Amino acid sequence: LSPSTTTVTIAAGGIAQHTINLAAADAVPSGKSGAAAPGPGVVKLDAFVVGMTSMDGSALAINEQRFAAEIKNVVSAQEFGQVAEGNVAELLKFMPGVSIDYGGGNARNISIGGAPAGNVPVTVGGFDLSSAGVGGTGRATALDFVSINNVSRVEVLHSPTPESPGAALAGSVNMVPRSAFERARAELQGSVFLMTRDNDRHFNKTPGPTHEARRKVHPGFDFSYSVPVNKRFGFTLSANHATQFSPQDFVQLTWRGAGSVTNGAAFPNTTPDKPYLSDFAVRDDLKETGRTSFGASVDYRLTDRDRLSFAFQATQNYVDFFARTLTFTIGRVLPGNFSPTFTHGDRGTGAGNVTTLNNAINRTNRTTMPTFTWRHTGPVWKAEGGLGFSRSTNSDRDIDFGFFNNMTAVRSNLTIAFDDIFYLRPGRITVADGVTGAPLDPYRLDTKTVANTTSNPRDSSDRRQTAYVNAARDFTWRVPFTLKAGLDVRVSERDTRGMSTTFTHTGTESAAQFIDRDFSQRIPPFGFPKIDWVSNTQLYAHSVAAPTHFTVDSNAQYRSTVNNSKYAEETISSAFLRGDAAFL
């Protein structure tokens, strides 16, 4: 446009209105690019060259969210940055309207708009993702078994539409696999790293989490490789591996008159402003988690308007979990022998006890998911169809790896007192024999006997099958109008099996015979001294060598097998017709 200069006179305290009209230049000024076209006001520029034909992940996510026909948030996995352990839920927890439920320290289930996890479908490329090992026979999907490294971007849909999965109550989550056609040229991204916790940065082996010493600093890697071979064919490869050590320190305080009831006998009634501590537990809980994943995709353009996509993902996770808990139970309190800062057990009855409880498991989870998609993007018609299959298996094992799942050792007939109680723990714990009143060291095993131990193997599987097809047509009337119709079938099948066997110890051995000498040298959390812990491995070896020292209730074992065998199958079929009009 040609420059325009004008003068406006404004009186003091007054208002002046003036219209400035700018007209197109009849010719391009000297030194500028372009040439004037015939006629006034028309300028023809030189050729405009597009240097790139693809966008990065964040631009793709922004444009997908911008032009979506529903309310949804889209985030590029690349934009979020490094997630060393690879859990996709670590990205989702930062998205609006989303809350994450944690299990065993891992971000696991997702809730949208307050809807429970079982009513929030989780899909990969629009296909249902299987999830075994958590949730029983329900619909909930555990996200900690999915690797973010195989995902291009994550979509959170907040407003269910006619084409949403039938199980969606308030929204759904879709993870978009990587595609070679998102890049204009081949691209390789990768990283190597070390994972450690700031409270255990030793490169040498230290006690835990299992009966054997292990390293707490672990190497890992991830990479993604996208190759658009030509305009019609491309492929991607991605993989990651990470091992993580996770201490999960834990204390539990049982307050009578607050979280727990009083009965007027063993536990005197009190007022809400004067609760007292009757039980205290400290747990040294250690876990090692390993994740290995692989992803691949192949894209082929049949025509300029039709594209075929094949994607495959496989993930394997393992968890070595070992929780060791020491519990002090007073058992009986006399009136007047308590306040919020102290609790003294009844010396006349010896109703208190000290219990050592071990809980260990080896969990292995495997998930595989192949999918096939066809897309047609025409000027008038748009269509899409796909077939997907996802299978997940989970195995919990104990004696197969040479240790019991659960073990209890106890010393009863004690008088226990808590003093200097503050928000975290009693500052001082005194334990004495309930008969003689002689002081007793509650952290030693030679004062305890093994009560019982348990084996608790579990197997579960989850199969998901998805098939869908839809088509949309644009009508360029005075009011732009789009009509879309489709069919969708989703089949899920969950099978869980397990057996719990309790081995009651009838031998006369002291629990000290099965001491875990290495782990007992570890300094526990929360300021406690060294604690003698039973080795679940040594106890299992003893049960094999001396089976007569243990008894098994076969009836209870059989009933547990029946009760833990569950099977559920569900088919959700839906058809939809949707119309969209743009009036403004």
The pLDDT tens digits of the residues spanning 79-113 come to 766 666 777 887 788 888 888 888 777 778 888 88
pLDDT value of position 57: 66
Task: For residue 19, give both structure tokens.
Answer: 């219209």
User: If you search the block for the tokens 């393992």, which residue do you land on?
Assistant: 318
pTM: 0.81
Task: For residue 570, give both structure tokens.
Answer: 């569900």
The pLDDT tens digits of the residues spanning 469-489 come to 999 999 888 888 899 999 999
Which of 75, 159, 76, 65 shows the shortest CA–CA distance to 112? 159
Which of 456, 457, 438, 440 shows the shortest CA–CA distance to 448? 440
3-class SS letters over 272-300 = CCCCEEEEEEEEEEEEEEEEEEEEEEEEE
Local structure of 305: helix, strand or coil: coil
The amino acid present at 359, given as its one-letter code, is N
pLDDT value of position 35: 47
Q: Are 163 and 106 contacting, i.e. CB atoms less than 8 angstroms apart?
A: no
DSSP 99-157: EEEEETTEEEEEEETTB-GGGS-EEETTEEPP--SSSTTSS---GGGSBGGGEEEEEEE
Q: C-alpha dihedral over 76, 175, 311, 365, to 10 degrees? A: 120
The pLDDT tens digits of the residues spanning 22-31 come to 877 665 454 4
Q: Are 447 and 440 contacting, i.e. CB atoms less than 8 angstroms apart?
A: yes
pLDDT value of position 39: 52
Q: What is the mean pLDDT of the chain?
A: 88
Residues of the chain with pLDDT under 70: 25-43, 50-57, 80-84
Q: Are 210 and 322 contacting, i.e. CB atoms less than 8 angstroms apart?
A: yes
